[in-house]
Amino acid sequence: MRLKGKVIVVAGAGGIGNELARRYAGEGAAIVLGDIDGAAAKTVAAEITGSGGNAVGTALDGADDASVRAAVDLAVSRFGGLDGFHANFACFRDGENGEDVLGLPLEAYDDVMRVNARGFVLCTRRAVPAMLARGGGSMVYTGSGAVYLGETVRVAYAMSKAAVHALMRHVAHRFGPNGIRANVIAPGVITHRRFQEVVPPDVAEAFKAQTAIRRLGSPSDIAAMGALLMSEEGRYITGQVISVDGGATLRP
Ligand SMILES: NC(=O)c1ccc[n+]([C@@H]2O[C@H](COP(=O)([O-])OP(=O)(O)OC[C@H]3O[C@@H](n4cnc5c(N)ncnc54)[C@H](O)[C@@H]3O)[C@@H](O)[C@H]2O)c1
């Protein structure tokens, strides 16, 4: 129950986000779970509430300022304030056709940057003031090991996630004196139902072979790190990009 009494917005449900919400609620936090698929977020929030947790689901477009503001306002009005914000949603559009930078449609580039980079800026601009009003808090951003890998596809995705490193460091330094911590979790390959729907088994096996511990990650591996960063136990961790990837990147 390390998060008892805390209020956390999880922006972006799905494979990892649902587990973040379950874990944070399981540790005692009150949760606003938002997703562009509002019905899916509400289903998971209801499941959390049904098993004794405290959560509300809502439609959230993380790339839309009014929508992000509404999610933060919901946390404040329903639960009394904001202590943590986990920006987790992502647009993967540039990976769909396997294009390199030469063939990448610029509309796909713009879309990925608009959602993943600009959207996380919007989340920061709405979450930080609410956390300052509370005397501090924890911003956690979901990044990606794709930043380091130099993949031959989805260059916009990797660029958008690299941009979040700079945003996070800015927030950590600028608002650290005011009690705000900021960190990026960079997952390796994390398997869940949606992932299994789009990634063939032989490709998943190849990903597994790239890890030091020879297994793919699970959403609970990411949620465990998120819970630490949201909790007082993580109070001296800020300004970091933390890889949670089974050793796939083996770099500082
Ligand atoms: N699964 C992996 O292997 C992996 C690896 C590295 C990084 N990540 C990162 O983890 C995060 C979660 O990914 P996931 O694997 O759970 O994928 P997912 O597709 O299961 O979840 C992503 C969620 O984001 C939502 N979303 C998309 N656009 C949105 C918007 N504009 N506003 C609000 N919600 C929006 C989707 O509806 C979906 O529920 C992403 O940031 C992703 O880049 C995942």
Give the containing element (helix H, strand E) for 39: helix 38-50
Cβ atoms of 145 and 249 closer than 8 Å: yes
- pTM equals 0.98
Cβ atoms of 98 and 153 closer than 8 Å: yes
Cβ atoms of 189 and 244 closer than 8 Å: no
Residue 12, in any domain of the structure: yes
Residue span of the structural domain in which 95 resides: 7-243
Count structural domains, the chain: 1
Residue 2, in any domain of the structure: no
Residue 110, in any domain of the structure: yes
Does the CA dihedral 8-12-18-20 come out positive or negative?
negative
* Nearest CA, atom 42, ligand 1: 90
Q: What CATH code is carried by the domain that includes residue 85? A: 3.40.50.720
CA distance 58 to 252: 37
One digit per residue, pLDDT tens: the chain, 252 residues? 999 999 999 999 999 999 999 999 999 999 999 999 999 999 999 999 999 999 999 999 999 999 999 999 999 999 999 999 999 999 999 988 889 999 999 999 999 999 999 999 999 999 999 999 999 999 999 999 999 999 999 999 999 999 999 999 999 999 999 999 999 999 999 999 988 998 999 999 999 999 999 999 999 999 999 999 999 999 999 999 999 999 999 875
Ligand 1 within 6 A of CB of 17: yes
Which of 88, 149, 159, 216 to mutate to test ligand 1, by most ligand atoms within 8 A of the CB atom?
Answer: 88
CA distance 139 to 8: 10
